[in-house]
Structure 1
C-alpha cells in the first residue's frame, strides 16, 4: 500500500533550483534512505514532505488517515515538564480512557445501580467491551513500553524526574526521538537521527527500527546504519532523485554499474553518429550515392541523441604525510586519571600504542573520551599518572568542536597565518583540494557550515605532517563522499592514529585495535569494530544470570583475551552458541510467563467487576492486592525480556 508519494516536486531559492521534478514513493513497512552530498537539498525535501515548507511546483499525496512523525536535525524537546511527564503526554488518550473505566467501576459498585439488574448488566457489558479494547490497543503496556524506549535511549529511572530544560542539547534530541518512537506514526521521518547517539544506543535504535510497524524515511550519513536498516535508497543529485533497491552497499554497486552503462551507451551512439556523418560527407556530392547520403542525413536528424553522462560531483582530494618517522613506542599511559579535580571521569588508564597502529577509543558518552584525547595532546593536565611520548613523536590533533579555528578569520588566512612562508597560490591550491575555490576562500570561518569547518580543520591537520594523529570524531559533519575520501587518506597514512568515533563503518575500515574505556581502566581488543562487537556479545551472553557460575568465570577470563589461538577460539565459539541457545530459551520462557500473567490480570479485572465481589469488601481488597502483585510481576518480566532482546 502506498502511504506517501511526491509528484513532480520542484523548489528553488533565489532562482537557484534545489529540487526538480522529484518523484518518490513510500510504501507500507518500507525502509527508505535519502542520500546526497551536503547542500543537495535533502532537508528541504523532508520539510516539504512534512508540510513545513511549500514547493514551487508539484504536490504531496498521502493515503487517508496516514500520520507522519518528523525529527529534524538537532531538534530537541524544551519544556519545564519532567522526562516522565513529557513521555506520558503521548498517552493522554489512554489516561482519559482509564478515567472513564474508573468512573464506570464506581457506577458498577453503586448499590442503587446494582439493585437495577438491567442497568447493571448493561454497565458490565460496556465495561467488559472497553477493557478488551483498552487491552488490545496497548493500554496496559504503555508505561512498560515507555520505560523500554527510555532505557534504549539511555534514560534510566533515576532520570525520570529531571526537568527537560535542565538536559543538554544532545539529551534533548535523544528524548525527542524517544517521544516520536512512542507516538508510532505510520511514516517515521528522521533527519540525521544518529547524531548524539553512542554506539550502544545506535545498535538499539537499529534493532527497534527493523521491527517498527510503520514505514521509515531517513536521512543519515551513518553508512553502517544505512546498510543495517534500509532496503530502498533515493539519491538526490543535481536537483533530481534516482531510485535504487537495496542498502547503501547495494546502492554504491548499482550506481557504479549505471554510470558505466550510461558511458558505454553514449560512446556507442557517438561512434555511430561519427560513422554516419563521415558517410554523408563522403557521398553527398556524388550523384550515384546522393540519395543514400540524404537518407542517412535524415536518419541522423531523427536520432534522439543521448546527453553526455555528467561526471562525478567534485570531491575533496587530500592525503596525510609525515615529516619524520617516530620511534617504535609512540605513546604510553601509566595509571592515568582524567577529568576535573572535583569531578574525575576515569581512573587507572594504562595502555601502549606502537608505530603504525590505528587505535579506536570506544566507550559510553560522558565517560571522558574527548577529555582523554585533550589530555594526551596537552590541552588538559592529567589528575594523576604519567604519559610518555616516544622519540620523534609529532602530535596532530583534530578537535570535533573545531576550537582551533578563529571565527573572525577568512578561510585563506586561517591557513596562511600559520604557514606564512607558503605562497598564496599554494595555499589556494590546498584549499581547492578541500573544495574551497574562488571567493569561497574569503569567507569568514564563522560563516561556514559544520562540514566546511571540518574541511578547514582537516586542511590544517594535513599541513602539520604529524606522525601521530589524534582524531576526535573526524567524520562528524562530513557527507558520505567526504567520509570515503578521509578513509582513503588515513588508510594510506604512514604514521600512527588514535581516534574516537561513533561511525561504525569508519571504525571497521580504519581500526586495527579497539580500546574500550571504562571508569576504571581500558580493555584492549586486537581487531576492528566487528571483532570488538563479537567479543562483547560473547561476554554479554556468557554473563547471563541463566548461566552456570563456571561459565561466568570463563567469560571473565575471555574478556582480557585479545588474540585467541584456533583451539581457544573454537571453544569460545562453541560456548557462545550454547549461551545463545540458553538466551533464546529464556526469552521463550519469559514470553510464556508474560502471556499467562496478562491472562491472569484480565481474569482478575473481570472478577472485580462482578456484583458479588463489589459487595464483599474483603474479597475485593484481596483480589485487588493480587492484581497489583501480578502487574508488578509482569513489569519485571517485560524488563528482563527487553534486556535480553537488546
Structure 2
C-alpha cells in the first residue's frame, strides 16, 4: 500500500536549484535510504516530506490516517522534565484513560441509594469497555516499552525519574529525541543521520529495532554498514534529480556502476554517429547533387536528443604521505588509569602499537576513548601509568570536534598560517582538491558546515606528513563518497594509524587490529570489525561451554533468580491492584448493607430488590477477586 508519494517536487534557495522534479513512492513497509553528496538536497527533501518547509512546485500526496514522525539532525530535546516524564508524555492518552478508569471506579463505589440499577449497569458497561480499550492500546505495557527503548539507546544506567533533560549533553538529547519518536510509532519514520552519537552497541540495537518496525522508514545516513543491514530501496539525489535503486547500499553501488557503463556505451555510440553525420554534411552540403541529402542529415542532427556524458560526483582528492619512517615500536602504553574527580573511567590499560599497524579503538560512549587520545597527546595527565613514543615518531591528530580550527580565520589563512613556506597557488590547489574552489577559500571557518570543517582539518592533516595518525571519528560529517576517498587514502598510507570510529564499514576496511576498551582494561582482536563480531560470538559460546558443571548450575540459578524476581514484581503489582479493587468493593458492600437496614429502603420493595441485586453482583465480583487474590498470593509464596 502506498502511504506517501511525491510528484514533481522542486525546490530552490535563491538562484541555487536544489531539487528538480523529484518523484518518490513510499510503500507501507519500505526501508528507504536517501544518499548523495553533502549539499545535494537530502535533508531538504526530508523537510519537505515532513511538511517542515514547502516545495516551490510539485505535490506531496499522503494516504489517509498516515502519521509522519521526523527526526532532524542534532534535534535534541529541550525541557526541564525528567527523562521519564518526557517519555511518558507520549502516552498521555493512556494516562488520561487510566484516570478516567479510576474515576469510574470511584463513581461505582460511591453510588448513592437514589440512583437506580440502570445507572449502575451503564457505569459497569462503560468501565468494561474502557478497560478493554486500555488493555488493547498497551496500557499495561507502555512503561516496559519506555524502559526497553531507553536501555537500547544507552540510558540503562541513568536515573530516569530524577535526571532533568536540560542537564544532558547535546548527543544525549538527540538520542532521547529519537527514543521519543520511536515510542510514538508513526506510520512513516523519517530519520536524518540517526546513527550520529550512537556507540556500536546502540547501533546494533537500533538496527534490530528498525528491522522489525511495523511502519515505513525513510532515512539519510552516511553509515554504509547501517544502510546495507536495513534498507531495501535507495534513492540517490544527484545533480538535483532523484534515481531509484532496489536493494541495499552495496547493491546500489553495483547497479549504479552498471548504469554508468551502459550510459557510457550509449554516449560513445551516439558520438560516433554524430561524427559520421557531421563529416557527411561537411563533404556534401556544397554539392548540388548531394545537398538535399546533406540538409536531411543536418535536420536529423538538430533533432537528435543528445546524451550527456555520464560522470561521477566530484569528490575530494588527496593522499597521506610521510617525511620519514618511524621506528618499529611507535607507541607503548603501560598500566594506564584515568578518571575525573572520584569517577574512574578505565584502569589497567596496556598495549603496544607497531609500525604500519591500523588499530581501531572501540568501546561504549563515555568509557574514555577520546580521553585516552588526549592522554597520548599530553593534554591530560594520567592518574597512573606511562605513555611512551618510539623513535622518529611524528604525530598527526584529527579531532572530531575540530577544536584546533580558528573560527575567525578564513579557510586559506587557516591552512597557510600553518604552512607559510607554500605559495598561494599551492595552497589554493590543495584546497581545490578538498572542494574549496574560487572564492570559497575566503569563507570564515565559523561559517562552514560540519562537513566543510572536516575537509579543512583533513587538508591540514595531509600537509603535516606525519608517520603516526591519531584519528578521532574521522568519518563524522563526511558524505559517503568522501568517506570512500578517505578510506582509500588511509589504505595506501605508509605510516601507522590508531583511530576511534563508530563507522563499521570504515572499521572493516581499515582496521587490522581492534582494541576494545572497558573499565578494567582492554581486549585485543587481531582483525577487522566482522572478525571482532565473530570472535565475540565465539567467546560467548565458549564461555558457556567451558563453564564447569558447578558454574553452569550457578549461571542457570542466576538466570532463574532474575526471572523469579521479575515474576515476583509482576505478582506483587497484581496483588496490589487486586487489593485496591477488593477494598473498594468491600466498602461498597458495607454501604449497601447499611442502606438495606434503613426503613425507607426495606419498606420500598422495588428499591430493596434493586439494592439486593446490586449487592449480589458486588459479592459475586468480590468472591471472584478473592479467589484470584488467593491464587496470586500462593504463586508469590511459591
**Which TM-score tier does this pair reach, normalised by the shorter chain?**
0.7 to 0.9
- The separation in 2 between residues aligned to 1:632 and 1:433, in whole angstroms, is 71
SS in 2 for 1:260: helix
- The separation in 2 between residues aligned to 1:465 and 1:19, in whole angstroms, is 40
Residues 618, 446 of structure 1: alpha-carbon distance in 2 compared, 3 angstrom cutoff: same
- The separation in 2 between residues aligned to 1:552 and 1:307, in whole angstroms, is 74
- The separation in 2 between residues aligned to 1:629 and 1:33, in whole angstroms, is 52
Contact 2:337 2:346 in 1 (8 A): yes
SS in 1 for 2:17: strand
Residues 393, 632 of structure 1: alpha-carbon distance in 2 compared, 3 angstrom cutoff: farther
Partner of 1:429: 429
- The separation in 2 between residues aligned to 1:175 and 1:374, in whole angstroms, is 28
- The separation in 1 between residues aligned to 2:18 and 2:204, in whole angstroms, is 33
Partner of 1:173: 174
- The separation in 1 between residues aligned to 2:70 and 2:220, in whole angstroms, is 11
- The separation in 1 between residues aligned to 2:332 and 2:549, in whole angstroms, is 34
Deviation at 1:163, TM superposition (A): 0.9
- The separation in 1 between residues aligned to 2:285 and 2:477, in whole angstroms, is 60
SS in 2 for 1:159: coil
Deviation at 1:540, TM superposition (A): 4.3
- The separation in 2 between residues aligned to 1:244 and 1:436, in whole angstroms, is 31
Q: How does 1:365-404 map to 2 (within 5 A)?
A: 365-404=365-404
String of CA shifts for 1:520-547, please: whole Å, max 9, x gaps.
Answer: 1101011111111222234445667xx8
Deviation at 1:444, TM superposition (A): 1.8
Contact 1:107 1:113 in 2 (8 A): no
String of CA shifts for 1:29-77, please: whole Å, max 9, x gaps.
Answer: 1011111111111111111111221111112111111111111100111
Residues 495, 630 of structure 1: alpha-carbon distance in 2 compared, 3 angstrom cutoff: farther
Partner of 1:233: 234
String of CA shifts for 1:600-642, please: whole Å, max 9, x gaps.
Answer: 99x989x979976844898687568679889999xxxxxxxxx
Residues 331, 259 of structure 1: alpha-carbon distance in 2 compared, 3 angstrom cutoff: same
Partner of 1:104: 104
Residues 479, 629 of structure 1: alpha-carbon distance in 2 compared, 3 angstrom cutoff: farther
SS in 1 for 2:254: helix
Contact 1:108 1:611 in 2 (8 A): no
Contact 1:11 1:55 in 2 (8 A): yes
Q: How does 1:468-487 map to 2 (within 5 A)?
A: 468-487=468-487
Contact 1:67 1:185 in 2 (8 A): yes
Q: How does 1:535-614 map to 2 (within 5 A)?
A: 535-540=535-540, 549-550=547-548, 614=618
Contact 1:108 1:114 in 2 (8 A): no
Residues 44, 611 of structure 1: alpha-carbon distance in 2 compared, 3 angstrom cutoff: farther
SS in 2 for 1:12: strand
SS in 2 for 1:507: helix
Partner of 2:601: none
How many equivalent pairs are there?
Answer: 594
String of CA shifts for 1:467-486, please: whole Å, max 9, x gaps.
Answer: 11111011111111110000
Partner of 1:203: 204
Residues 107, 14 of structure 1: alpha-carbon distance in 2 compared, 3 angstrom cutoff: same
- The separation in 1 between residues aligned to 2:53 and 2:635, in whole angstroms, is 46
SS in 1 for 2:102: helix
Moved more, 535-544 or 355-364: 535-544
Partner of 1:91: 91
Partner of 1:254: 255
Moved more, 261-270 or 153-162: 153-162
SS in 1 for 2:548: helix
Contact 1:604 1:623 in 2 (8 A): no
SS in 1 for 2:52: coil
Partner of 2:152: 152
Unaligned runs of 5+ in 1: 555-578, 634-646
Contact 1:233 1:245 in 2 (8 A): yes
SS in 1 for 2:236: strand
String of CA shifts for 1:267-322, please: whole Å, max 9, x gaps.
Answer: 112212222333344445556655554544444444x3223224222211111111
Residues 228, 272 of structure 1: alpha-carbon distance in 2 compared, 3 angstrom cutoff: same
TM-score, length-scaled by structure 2: 0.86
Partner of 2:456: 456
Contact 1:7 1:59 in 2 (8 A): yes
Contact 2:578 2:629 in 1 (8 A): no
Contact 2:451 2:479 in 1 (8 A): yes
Moved more, 197-206 or 607-616: 607-616
- The separation in 2 between residues aligned to 1:120 and 1:631, in whole angstroms, is 34
- The separation in 1 between residues aligned to 2:35 and 2:632, in whole angstroms, is 50
- The separation in 2 between residues aligned to 1:428 and 1:532, in whole angstroms, is 42
Rg (Cα) greater in structure: 2
Contact 1:109 1:614 in 2 (8 A): no
- The separation in 2 between residues aligned to 1:182 and 1:199, in whole angstroms, is 21
Moved more, 429-438 or 145-154: 429-438
Partner of 1:413: 413
String of CA shifts for 1:96-115, please: whole Å, max 9, x gaps.
Answer: 21122223333444565899
- The separation in 2 between residues aligned to 1:513 and 1:627, in whole angstroms, is 57
SS in 2 for 1:415: helix
String of CA shifts for 1:107-141, please: whole Å, max 9, x gaps.
Answer: 44456589955544444343333332222221211
Moved more, 215-224 or 4-13: 4-13
- The separation in 2 between residues aligned to 1:426 and 1:631, in whole angstroms, is 80
Partner of 2:61: 61
Residues 420, 520 of structure 1: alpha-carbon distance in 2 compared, 3 angstrom cutoff: same
String of CA shifts for 1:164-219, please: whole Å, max 9, x gaps.
Answer: 11111111111110000000011111111111111111110111011111111101
Moved more, 404-413 or 491-500: 404-413
Unaligned runs of 5+ in 2: 586-613
Partner of 1:269: 270
Partner of 2:596: none
- The separation in 2 between residues aligned to 1:611 and 1:356, in whole angstroms, is 86
String of CA shifts for 1:539-570, please: whole Å, max 9, x gaps.
Answer: 445667xx88438979xxxxxxxxxxxxxxxx
Partner of 1:137: 137
Partner of 1:441: 441
Contact 1:75 1:176 in 2 (8 A): yes
Partner of 2:185: 184
- The separation in 1 between residues aligned to 2:271 and 2:333, in whole angstroms, is 64
Residues 283, 485 of structure 1: alpha-carbon distance in 2 compared, 3 angstrom cutoff: same
Partner of 1:563: none
Contact 2:47 2:53 in 1 (8 A): yes
String of CA shifts for 1:210-267, please: whole Å, max 9, x gaps.
Answer: 1111111101111111111111111111111111111111111111111121111121
Deviation at 1:346, TM superposition (A): 1.2
TM-score, length-scaled by structure 1: 0.85
Residues 618, 27 of structure 1: alpha-carbon distance in 2 compared, 3 angstrom cutoff: closer
Residues 183, 624 of structure 1: alpha-carbon distance in 2 compared, 3 angstrom cutoff: farther
